[in-house]
Amino acid sequence: MSALRRTSLHKISSFSRRKSKGSQYVLQRLFILALVILACLLLFALGLMIGYGVIGDGDSMWSILSPSKWQELIGKFTEK
């Protein structure tokens, strides 16, 4: 094989490896971002449950997560 052909094949395989590492890096970062968002949502729900059910005078910790409770709360703030 000629030296020019070996050099061009080396460049192609090197580019392919860099592209693979770059996409792997992006996928890892997206996975970490998804985990952080999921953790934030879980902690938000837990905070709502503790605030409403334990600290507040709510009936049940789980009732704050129901859509009917949110309609009631939004209705209290938007009615005139």
Please state, in angstroms and rounded to a whole number, the distance separating the CA atoms of residues 50 and 55.
6
* 50 secondary structure, DSSP code: I
* Residue-level pLDDT at 28: 95
Query: Quick one: which of 48, 67, 68 has its CA closest to 58?
Result: 48
* Residue-level pLDDT at 56: 82
* Residue-level pLDDT at 21: 82
Q: Which residues contact 59 (CB under 8 A, 6 or more apart)?
A: 53
What averages of pLDDT result for each successive group of 10 residues across the chain (80 residues)? Answer: 58 63 91 98 94 83 88 87
Q: Tokens 């580019």 sit at which residue?
A: 15
* Residue-level pLDDT at 42: 97
Q: Which residues contact 76 (CB under 8 A, 6 or more apart)?
A: none
